[in-house]
């Protein structure tokens, strides 16, 4: 009888889930705007940004924030070039731009829309939490006037707006009620709920989304909801998934989680989880390329233990683990080795399991390594390598292992 994955893995993740069809979310890549707010990254040249946009498109990402063109001439010029790139290459990814909720910031977005003939959604943000209002000396009346002036102008000029309440998770319901209803009445296409400082827990996310959905339902409109989360408490990804499960339509994030302070929700990790949860129908075989390209153009090195894209994601040198992977491969089931010691199947993302040799290795590691490198795995050679490995405090490199096999005497590598 042929065994299937469900025969060998009991999935507690699905025990409490209803048997309804899985809803596929929209996604919004903030790497080229929110991401470059990090003080540790490079704002790359526009040609590099185009490369990343093309990979976003290949991954099925719905929309991308291409700039805040009101920030200055370079931001405006980059925005124009990126929207042209989307148009000329017939990319499916939809362009959007950030703006303060003021006409001055909306005007450059309209300029790009008119010059390219491509609709560009303006993500217009305004701070709404009591702490922000106190620091800025704002009151609700001023906020309502700001929203009315900016969104009325956008409506007259056929510019689509997503209304962004900064620090939504720390904003009072009475304030949000008035501002959101005003934005809806003025034609906002989307409402963006923000965890601007990474304050929320999954329970807080669910509460806010449920409250906002009830408000939208009461207005009898078709306004959609976005979730934009930061990672200050290390909850960026799980909060984003909680927002999706609570009914949000579009999920925001950045490549490798780059962004201000400790960063935004890592969009690559969000997509990875959506894929494994059966909620992302698009091919993610270029996900590692996306992460590596982002790291390269933003001037960052991916951590060795980063999910999927880190060099150790599918790499082991531990004897017991390696032996299990090898035995799984010998069963002749291609998917089995990918899952015996991994919750993420490497082959689904264009990768494979890697077995190394080090001080915690066993003979199976050595035999496997030699076989993978097309080398003879006789008993003497295997024992020689294993004895040398046990004397080290780290995994041996390929160069060191090959040198060992050629040397008549075994000595620790430098």
Q: How confident is the model over 36-52, as pLDDT tens digits?
A: 999 999 999 999 999 99
Quick check: 32 and 67 in contact, CB under 8 A?
Answer: yes
Q: What is the sign of the dihedral through the CA atoms of 31, 237, 26 and 295?
A: positive
Percentage of residues in the chain having pLDDT higher than 90? 77
pLDDT at site 21: 62
Length of the chain: 414
Tell whether the model's pLDDT for residue 196 goes beyond 60. yes
User: What confidence tens digit (pLDDT) does each residue in 327-341 have?
Assistant: 888 887 778 888 888
**Cα 146–151–153 angle (5° rounding)?**
105
Domain extent for 31: 25-298
- Percent of the chain past pLDDT 70, that is, above it, reads 96
Residue 3 predicted with pLDDT over 70: no
Q: Which of 344, 385, 346, 343 is nearest to 364 (CA)?
A: 385
Measure CA 21 to chain center: 23
In the block, which residue shows the tokens 């035995």?
A: 327
Look at residue 380 in the predicted model and tell me its pLDDT. Answer: 86
Supply the pLDDT for residue 372. 86
Task: Tell me which of 117 and 407 has the higher pLDDT.
Answer: 117
Whole-model pTM over 0.85: yes
Query: Is residue 329 situated within a structural domain?
Result: yes
Predicted confidence (pLDDT) at residue 215 exceeds the cutoff of 80: yes
Q: Are 314 and 346 in contact (CB under 8 A)?
A: yes
Whether the CB-CB separation of 136 and 127 falls below 8 Å is answered with yes
Report the pLDDT averaged over residues 256-277: 97
Note the pLDDT of residue 181: 98
pLDDT band at 16 (very low <50, low <70, confident <90, very high): confident
In a domain, 222, yes or no: yes
User: What tens digit of pLDDT does each residue of 30-86 get?
Assistant: 999 999 999 999 999 999 999 999 999 999 999 999 999 999 999 999 999 999 999
Asked, for residue 53, whether it belongs to a domain, the answer is yes
Does residue 386 lie in a domain region? yes
Residue 10 burial (CB count, 10 A): 9
**307 is a domain residue:** no
Do 274 and 382 have their domain in common? no
HSE on the CB side for 237, CA within 13 Å?
15
Q: Which tokens hold the place of 287?
A: 């996900």
One domain, residues 152 and 232? yes
- Spell out the residues 6+ positions from residue 100 whose beta carbon is closer than 8 angstroms to its own: 70, 124, 125, 126
Quote the pLDDT of residue 4.
66
Q: Over range 239-260, report the average pLDDT.
A: 97
Nearest of 243, 127, 224 to residue 176 by alpha carbon: 127
SS3 call for 64: strand
Q: Which residue among 264, 298, 332 closes a domain?
A: 298
Q: Are 362 and 319 in contact (CB under 8 A)?
A: yes
What is the structure's pLDDT at 414? 41
pLDDT above 50 for 413? no
- Clarify whether residues 87 and 166 are in a common domain: yes
Q: pLDDT tens digits for 119-139? A: 999 999 999 999 999 999 999
The CA distance from 358 to 336, in Å, is 24
- Judge whether 388 and 410 are in contact, CB under 8 Å: yes
Cα distances from 277 to residues 8, 24, 70, in angstroms, run: 17, 10, 39
167 with 197: CB under 8 angstroms? Answer: yes
Q: Is the pLDDT of residue 1 over 50?
A: no
User: Hey, what are 187's tokens?
Assistant: 């034609």
Report the domain count for the chain: 2
Mean pLDDT (the chain) is 93
Q: What was the pLDDT predicted at 378?
A: 82
Classify residue 414: in a domain, yes or no: no
Q: Would you give the DSSP letter of residue 20?
A: S
């Amino acid at each position: 009888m042929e065994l299937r994955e469900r025969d060998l893995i009991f999935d507690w993740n699905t025990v409490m889930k209803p048997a309804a069809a899985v809803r596929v979310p929209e996604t919004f890549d903030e790497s080229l705007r929110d991401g470059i707010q990090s003080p540790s990254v490079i704002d790359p040249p526009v040609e590099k940004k185009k490369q990343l946009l093309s990979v976003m498109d290949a991954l099925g990402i719905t929309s991308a924030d291409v700039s805040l063109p009101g920030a200055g001439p370079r931001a405006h010029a980059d925005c124009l070039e990126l929207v042209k790139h989307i148009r000329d290459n017939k990319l499916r990814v939809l362009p959007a731009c950030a703006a303060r909720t003021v006409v001055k910031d909306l005007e450059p977005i309209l300029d790009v829309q008119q010059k390219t003939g491509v609709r560009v959604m303006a993500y217009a943000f305004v701070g709404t939490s009591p702490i922000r209002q106190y620091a800025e000396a704002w009151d609700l009346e001023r906020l309502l006037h700001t929203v009315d002036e900016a969104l009325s102008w956008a409506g007259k000029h056929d510019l689509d707006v997503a209304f962004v309440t900064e620090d939504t998770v720390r904003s009072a319901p009475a304030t949000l009620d008035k501002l959101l209803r005003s934005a809806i009445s003025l034609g906002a296409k989307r409402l963006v709920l923000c965890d601007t400082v990474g304050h929320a827990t999954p329970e807080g996310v669910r509460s806010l989304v449920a409250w906002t959905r009830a408000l939208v339902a009461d207005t009898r409109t078709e306004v959609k909801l976005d979730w934009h989360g930061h990672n200050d408490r290390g909850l960026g990804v799980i909060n984003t998934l909680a927002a999706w499960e609570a009914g949000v339509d579009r999920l925001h994030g950045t490549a490798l989680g780059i962004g201000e302070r400790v960063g935004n929700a890592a969009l690559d990790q969000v997509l990875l989880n959506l894929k494994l949860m059966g909620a992302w129908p698009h091919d993610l075989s270029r996900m590692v390329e996306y992460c590596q390209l982002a790291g390269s153009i933003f001037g960052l090195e991916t951590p060795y233990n980063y999910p999927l894209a880190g060099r150790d994601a599918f790499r082991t040198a531990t004897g017991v683990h390696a032996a299990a992977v090898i035995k799984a491969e010998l069963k002749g089931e291609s998917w089995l080795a990918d899952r015996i010691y991994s919750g993420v199947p490497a082959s689904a993302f264009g990768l494979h399991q890697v077995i190394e040799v080090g001080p915690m290795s066993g003979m199976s590691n050595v035999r496997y390594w030699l076989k993978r490198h097309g080398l003879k795995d006789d008993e003497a050679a295997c024992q020689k390598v294993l004895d040398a490995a046990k004397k080290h405090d780290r995994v041996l490199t390929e160069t060191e292992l090959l040198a060992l096999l050629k040397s008549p005497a075994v000595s620790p590598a430098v």
